[in-house]
Each structure stands twice: as structure tokens, then as C-alpha cells.
Structure 1
Amino acid sequence: MTAEAAETGRLKSEADEPGWEVDPDDDWGVAVIATVGRQLKLRREAVGMRAAEFGAAVGYGEDLVYKIEGGKRIPRQGYLVTADRVLGAGGLIAATWEDVKRVRYPKKVRELGKLEGKAVEIGVYECNSIHGLLQTPEHARCLFEAWQPPYSSDDVERMVAARMARQTVFERDPAPSVHFVLEEAPLRRQVGGTMVWRQQLERLLAVGRLNNVALQVMPTNTEAHPGLDGRIELLKFPDGTAVGRADGMYNGRPVSDPRHLRILELQYGSLRAQALPPRESLAFIEELLGET
């Protein structure tokens, strides 16, 4: 039995690890988790352990063991490491985490991260919050915790981790050209209290000073502009293709038709022209930081 299970005197159930179900519409995720579960079952049976006995050894209830082996639940890394030791797998089961971790995030998040990872140009206008690529873990956690109906704490941590994983886009070499237009109001909102707010402003300054990043602030006292209907995103790829979306157009769905993209580019260009220039925007954020 694991040390954690020994301390509590009981085996883990689904109530202890909510939010790790497999999305049935995620074909790749289903295939990966089913394969890992099958390997676990075959290994357990090969050493002659019953599910209940194995569960007690790893600190999990029998029902949860069956669900993981049946591909219905995503195993945590700790589960795989402990299972590897209990079954004497010599690192083979623990190594499956490399596959599992690629599908533990929701499909939509993975697809977005994949597109951002390929893009050579990224342009984003964000109206109601600070964009996910710019958020600190603490800021993101506060946003997820404020959602109604509330997410479980496990779901919150998974989504925070997924959001932070997308930020590797800034570590790419060669680096993509990234441009943000952010509204003033979300920058002034003290999400999570003064310290979290301060850390978030410092994060904005750090990213905004990168050579490949331009960050602009849209003042609240400006005239009407094309972004009032919601977020606008534009991604351009090395082969010359592009994809974009806007909350207020095309039902909010991604579009790649050149005619639709031209309209989004026109709107985004208008936003950039109306917002404060990058240097003035960073100075504005520095002033906010001085108020904390």
C-alpha cells in the first residue's frame, strides 16, 4: 500500500480523483488510455495478482483499478510508478506516462496548443480577461476556481497545467512573432488579491519585453472598435496558410477561407491601430504595477 493510503487507512476511489475520465469523443486519447490499461491488466495477471490485491498494494480501490485497466480512467503518474514497482515491470509501466501525459489534457486544449506550436505568427485580441498565454499559474487558478458550477480541485489543477503547457510557445526556436491587444479593464481587475495581481502584471511586462512579442493595451476611454463583440485570434503557418476565429463572426468557429480571414485581419488591424503603441502600453502596465 502507498504511504498516502497507509496514512488515511483507506483506498482511493473516484471521489478522491475526480475529473480523470476519458473523453469518449477523443479517439486518440481513448486509444492511448485503452492501450496503457491493457498493459497494466496483462502485467498484473502475469504475476498472478487479483485486482483487489493489486489495488491494496497501490492504494486504490478495486473498482478504480478495473476502470483504469478498462481504459475508462486516465492513470496518474504516481499510479503508474507504483504499479511498475509492485508488478516488477522494470520501468516499462512507468514509462507509459510519456504517452499518457500527452492526452491527459482536454482535446480542445491539445488542438489549440498544437496550432500555436506550429504558427509563425500569432495575433490575439482579448476583451474580458488576460489571454491564457500570458497568465501566471496563480491567476489562471483563480479564474478556474471562480467558474460556476464549480470545477473540482482536480479539474482545476489539470486545466491550469494545460494552460501553462501552452506557454512553451515562447521557448520555440525560431521564435514565432506574437502580438497581443488587451483591454485595460481586465488589467485593473485584482484577480486573486494584490500579490497575485502584482505577479500577473510583472508577467505581462516580462513577456511584453521579449524581442518577438508586441503587447498593446486598449484604453477604456477609447471609441467603439471591432473587438466589442469578443475575442479575435489569427494564426499563420510556415506554408502560407492561416486560421482565425472571432466570437462575433461565423458562429465563433475557426475559419481558413481567405475571404473570411481578410475580414478578421482588417478588424485586427483596426484594433492595433486604435490601441496604445507597445512602448506606451508597457509604460501603462508599469504605472499599474506602481499602484499595487
Structure 2
Amino acid sequence: MSDWDAGLEDAEAGAVMRTVVRQLKLWREGAGLTQAQFGAAIGYGEDLVSAVERGRRIPRPEYLDAADEVLGAGGRIAAMKRDVAEVRYPKKVRDLKKLEADAIELCAYNNSVIHGLLQTEDYTRAIFNVRRPAFTEEEVEQQVAARLARQEILDPGAGRRVFSFVQCESTLRRPIGGRMVMRRQLERVLEVGRLRNVDFQVLPLDREENSGTDGSFRLLKLTDGATVAFSEAPLSSRVITNPKETTVLDIRYGVLRAQALSPRESLAFIEKVLGETET
């Protein structure tokens, strides 16, 4: 459970964990069990039970399932698994995930790496492993889990949500993680690009015009009609809600789509790049 240390730096995460801790302790005491007895019953040590009840560790899903069964909670403890898993992720990731979940359309331009919603686990891990100053192994796993958790919104059955991705050709050719990792990543892009709710376009390097040289950004068009943008730079990220700024980025994204290959041409282009990796 080492990668579930509770680094609860924000009020929302702290409130969730205080509620979970309070319920776990009440159920244990109600059953007349000491921490040692409870730990033995669910297969964990007394020290870990103590760390969870003091809010020092975030209980894993299997911990909550075992507690639910041993304490006869009838699913009430197990029901907290989703909320507990969410607070494991950094606040900015949770905020972005909420915005993405509320969006009916997501548009993203990237010129450095493959967009996070399209990344394979190995590609994501390779990105975080080369960050400097270096992340600890636990921090890498936390970041990877957080990024992969956002990808569930791509499922066409998860809601009436459409996606548009424009990727600079350089992101398809930069061998992050090595050749085999990159091959699987390109295959993943092809898989997602063929989904009926996804348009994927490549902006080739030989284009004389590229309106995205200022950097990567994304637009999220929400269910209430509002548009928000998200930009990320070294050491900072920013959610943009000012209509004057989001309109500029909306126009820029439209131009980028016009400058890029069509979705059909783009999938053929990726197949070509994928074939080149075999040699």
C-alpha cells in the first residue's frame, strides 16, 4: 500500500478522508474489535490499520472490500471505494477530470507528446520517468494511475461526448520509451482514432503554416453552453474561462484543423509511420 500514502493537501481530499476514517473506526468499534483484531481479520497488520484510521494511508479497494465483509456492513463501506480512489490523485487532475466529464465536446492540440487521453500505460510511465527533478517511483505510479483513470470518458457508451485531437507529426515520431513502446502507442492512436465519436488529425511537419507554435492547449465545451480552455506550461497549468481568451483559442483550433490532414488521411499517415518502425 506504499503508493497510497495520503498526501492530502486540499480541503476536498481531506474532507473525504475524514469521513471514510470516521466510518471505518465506528464500524470497527461497533463490532467490538481492536485494531489488531480487525487487522488480523482482514489480512493486514495493526500498524496499517492504525495508519488508515489516523488518515496517514488511503485504504485500497481490497481493504475496503475486506472491511465491509468482516464488519457486516452490507456494502456501505465498499461503496466508498470510488470516492477514496479519486482523492488519491492530485487536485489539478481531479479538477480536470471533472471538467472533462462535464464536457460534450473536447478539442485538443499537442505538439510535444501524445495527448494524455490517448496514451498507453508504458508511454505515460516513460514520460514521467524522464521528468527532472525526478519523481520518486511512488509519485510516478500515482501520476500514471491518475492519467489512465481519465481515459474512461473515451468510451462511446459513456455519454454523448465527441472528441477532436490534432497532433503535430513530431509527437508521432519522437520515440518516447523506445521503439516497442512507441509502436504500441501508435497502435493505440489508431484504435482510438477509429472510434465513431473521435476525430484524429495529424499536422505534418512539412506544412508551411502552423497556428499552434505557441504550444499545446485544449478546449472543453460544457453542457451548459460555456467553453473553457486548459493550458499547461512548465511548473504551472491554467484553466481559462474568460470568453475573450477562449474565443481566441477556439478560432485557433479551427485553423489548426484546416491546416492538418483530414481524419481519414491522418489514420493512413499513422499507418505509414507505424510501418516505418518495423525497419
TM-score norm. by structure 1 comes to: 0.82
1:214 aligns with 2:199: yes
Contact 2:156 / 2:197 at 8 angstroms: preserved in 1? no
Q: Which runs of 5+ in 2 are unaligned?
A: none
Quick check: 1:22–1:30 contact (8 Å CA) kept in 2? no
Change (3 A) 1:123 1:45: same
How many pairs were matched up? 274
Alpha carbons 2:156, 2:196 under 8 Å: kept: no
> Residues 271 and 98 (structure 1 numbering): CA distance in 2 closer, same or farther, change over 3 Å?
closer
Q: 1:94 to 1:279 in 2, by over 3 A?
A: closer
1:171 to 148, 155, 160: 155
Report the Cα distance in structure 2 between the residues aligned to 1:91 and 1:256, rounded to whole angstroms.
40
Corresponding residue number in structure 1 for 2:94: 110
Moved more, 147-156 or 103-112: 147-156
Q: Is the contact made by 1:229 and 1:247 (CA closer than 8 Å) also made in structure 2?
A: no
Letter in 2 for 1:68: V
| Structure 2 counterpart SS, 1:108 | helix
Q: Percent identity?
A: 51
Given that 2:105 and 2:221 are in contact with CA atoms closer than 8 Å, whether structure 1 keeps it comes out as yes
1:72 aligned partner: 56
Q: 1:24 is matched with which residue?
A: 9
Distance in 2 between residues matched to 1:262 and 1:48, nearest whole Å: 61
Structure 1 residue runs of 5 or longer lacking an equivalent are 1-15
* Distance change >3 Å, CA 252–CA 80, structure 1 → 2: closer
Question: Following TM superposition, by how much is the alpha carbon of 1:224 offset from its aligned partner in structure 2, in angstroms?
Answer: 5.5
CA contact (8 A) 1:74 1:100 kept: yes
- Aligned equivalent of 1:136, options 95, 114, 120: 120
Please point out which of 170, 174, 185 is paired with 1:185.
170
**Which residues of 2 match residues 24-173 of structure 1 at below 5 A?**
24-25=9-10, 27-55=11-39, 58=42, 60-87=44-71, 89=73, 91-173=75-157
Q: What amino acid is the match of 1:38? A: R
CA contact (8 A) 2:6 2:88 kept: no
Show the counterpart of 1:200.
185
The structural deviation recorded for 1:155 is 3.4
SS in 2 for 1:227: coil
Structure 1 distance, partners of 2:237, 2:7, is 26
- Backbone CA RMSD of aligned residues: 2.6
**Aligned with 1:196: secondary structure?**
helix
State the TM-score, normalizing by the size of structure 2. Answer: 0.85
Partners of 1:287 and 1:206 lie apart in 2 by 15
Q: Does 1:241 align with 2:219?
A: no
Q: Distance in 1 between matches of 2:179 and 2:56?
A: 41
Structure 1 residues 88 and 269 mapped into 2: Cα distance closer, same or farther (>3 Å)?
A: closer
**Bigger mean CA offset, 137-146 vs 55-64:** 55-64
Q: CA deviation at 1:171?
A: 1.8
Aligned AA for 1:106? P
Would the alpha carbon gap of residues 96 and 263 (structure 1) be closer, same or farther in structure 2, given more than 3 Å must change? closer
CA distance in 2, matches of 1:94, 1:245: 34
Deviations 1:106-126 (A, max 9, x none): 222222122112212211111
* Aligned mates of 2:237, 2:211 — CA distance in 1: 15
Structure-2 residue corresponding to 1:275: 260
SS in structure 1 at match of 2:133:
coil
SS in 2 for 1:181: strand
Q: 1:86 to 1:246 in 2, by over 3 A?
A: closer
1:4 maps to what in 2? none
Displacement after TM superposition at 1:285 (Å): 0.5
